[in-house]
Amino acid sequence: MNFPENLKYTKDHEWIQIDGDTGIVGITEYAQGELGDVVFVELPAPGKTVKLHESLGTIEAVKAVSDVYAPVSGSVLAVNPDLEKTPEIVNKDPYGKGWMVKIKISNPSEVFGLLSASAYKQLVGK
């Protein structure tokens, strides 16, 4: 299982790649494996303001439907347009082409509450 060191993680199995005051968000390899084959992803419209731990949208898989939670507060700058037609990208490349939203971070101190790769790895027991 892959736990990229350049990302931060949540206990709810989201990842965020931070670049200045923006972050790209997706779900972890572990999460997509637990969900199974992703068949639909519902994401917020750009411009929506989200709060830490608030639902960003949902992922529907063959096994279950799950919320995607905001790892930080901010406003949605963009959503991954490819997920509308090919949601299975989340299964194939969760840390790359399967990204979900780009957020302009409004409270940078929230980043300190996120998990490192090694802490997330311990959380999922891998």
72 vs 25: CA distance, rounded Å = 10
For the chain, give every domain's residue range.
Answer: 21-107
- Confidence category of residue 126, pLDDT binned at 50, 70, 90: confident
Q: Each residue of 26-41: pLDDT tens digit?
A: 999 999 999 999 999 9
The answer to whether the beta carbons of residues 30 and 43 sit under 8 Å apart is: no
Domain 21-107 top-level CATH class: mainly beta
Write the burial class of residue 29 (CB in 10 Å: 0-12 exposed, 13-18 middle, 19+ buried): buried
Query: Please, which residues have CB within 8 angstroms of residue 20's CB and are 6 or more apart in sequence?
Result: none
Please give the pLDDT value at position 92.
Answer: 97
Q: What's the pTM value of the predicted model, to 2 decimals?
A: 0.95
For the chain, first and last CA: distance in Å?
7
Residues in the chain: 126
- At 116, the amino acid letter reads S
pLDDT at 8 exceeding the cut of 90: yes
Determine the distance from the C-alpha atom of residue 121 to the mean position of all C-alpha atoms in its chain, rounded to a whole number.
Answer: 16
